[in-house]
Amino acid sequence: MFSMSRGLTFDDVLLEPVYNGIKSRQLVTTAINLGEFEFKIPICSSNMDTITGHKMANLMGSLGGLALLHRFMSIEENVEEFKKVEYKNNVGFSIGVGEHEYDRAEALISAGAQICCVDVAHGHSKAVNRMVKYLREKYKDNILIIAGNVATYAGADYLAGAGADVIKVGIGPGSVCSTRIKTGFGVPQLSAIINASKVDKHIIADGGIRCPADAVKALAAGADMIMLGGLFAGTEETPGDVLEKKGPDGSTIRYKKFRGMASREAQEDFMDGMADWKTAEGIAVEVECKGSAKAVIQDIMGGIRSGMTYSGASTIGALQRKVNFIEITPAGWLEGTPHFNIKKG
């Protein structure tokens, strides 16, 4: 017999304002810890091939965030990318669960990497459990292990039991992910974060962040850090060539490619094509160039700092303890958007 529960995502809720005794949003502390690693800002760049290479990692490191290098390159190229990163404590590498990924982990750790992300689409699986256990047994507490993705308490608990320090949460909320419309599976991201954070491990909320308010809600719900992909797409620091095309008015449009790692395009580049028994669970898009990712981070962090003062919280931990969520209607959401001159029917 099936069961049914209620799932909510960011636009379904607001945070109730409470008394604030903080003089300025400049006085809040946004630093967080993942194990022994401290980050000044709770933002991580996504380990996608069109988002995080060494340039993005260096920017994230300079601002105090975390960057996870993607794994869709040879092991030798992966090591070279890592060596190009100046801020070694702010960068991690990613591995899958295939046999060659054991070699990737050994090569990157030998090169000095201390943060490893075991990253597959459905992390609540025996293969991920086996890889996490292997890493923990071999490298003990000398590395920080991030594992995912999951969207339930059971999934998070399963990976925590295997030895993961940090759980990456998100099944289907990404801007170029089509898992939910292809498979019917997923959990609305806010509910996924709340449920996974009941496990006594750090949480990275991966996907669904479209604006600063979503970041505040994700952190308030129990995430220690948010992962950004789509918001960084098209920025200067992302990998990939800048391409040009003519706009409808004849002007030149500069753009970069952005794609989900389960898209047909990514499968063709890295997996020798899409097998006839599979379907693409991601899309590929063109994103107009939009300057440095630093501006995106500044906007998100401004919203986080302001949001913290609406709850009277000087730290992210205090934000999580003090807030109350309120479920809203679509009309309530619309009321909170700029709506000058909107006339009622």
Render pLDDT for 189-236 as a digit per residue (tens, 0 to 9).
999 999 999 999 999 999 999 999 999 999 999 999 999 999 999 999
* Residue 107 reports pLDDT greater than 80: yes
Residue for token digits 């920017």?
A: 59
| pLDDT for the residue 264 | 80
Span 43-71, average pLDDT: 97
Secondary structure of residue 80 in the 3-state scheme? helix
| Reported confidence tier of residue 1, pLDDT bands at 50, 70, 90 | low
Count, residues in the chain: 345
* Residue 291 reports pLDDT greater than 90: yes
Residue 61 makes CB contacts below 8 A (sequence gap 6+) with 67, 85, 86, 87, 89, 90, 91
Span 272-282, average pLDDT: 78
| pLDDT for the residue 342 | 66
* Residue 17 reports pLDDT greater than 70: yes
Which range, of 13-22, 126-135, 243-252, averages the lowest pLDDT?
243-252
* Residue 344 reports pLDDT greater than 70: no
pLDDT > 70 in the chain, percent: 98
Domains and CATH numbers, the chain: 11-237+290-326 (3.20.20.70)
Distances (CA, A) of 99 to 95, 102, 130, 219: 10, 6, 12, 35
Q: What CA–CA distance (Å, rounded) separates 49 from 239?
A: 7
Residue for token digits 């989900």?
A: 260
| pLDDT for the residue 266 | 79
Q: What CA–CA distance (Å, rounded) separates 42 from 31?
A: 7
| pLDDT for the residue 340 | 80
Prediction pTM value = 0.95
| pLDDT for the residue 15 | 98
* Gyration radius of the chain's alpha carbons: 20
Span 256-283, average pLDDT: 80
Residue 319 or residue 3, greater confidence:
319
* Residue 164 reports pLDDT greater than 70: yes
Q: What CA–CA distance (Å, rounded) separates 73 from 261?
A: 13
| Reported confidence tier of residue 339, pLDDT bands at 50, 70, 90 | confident
b/e 118-148 (16+ beta carbons within 10 angstroms → b): bbbbbbbbeebbebbebbbeebeeebbbbbb
Nearest to 86 by CA among 56, 108, 106: 56
C-alpha angle 324/304/160, rounded to 5°?
70
pLDDT > 90 in the chain, percent: 88
Instruction: Say whether 337 is catalytic.
Output: no
Residue 285 or residue 280, greater confidence:
285
| Reported confidence tier of residue 345, pLDDT bands at 50, 70, 90 | low
Instruction: Say whether 179 is catalytic.
Output: yes
Selected catalytic residue, list 30, 50, 52, 179? 179
Selected catalytic residue, list 116, 177, 238, 309? 177
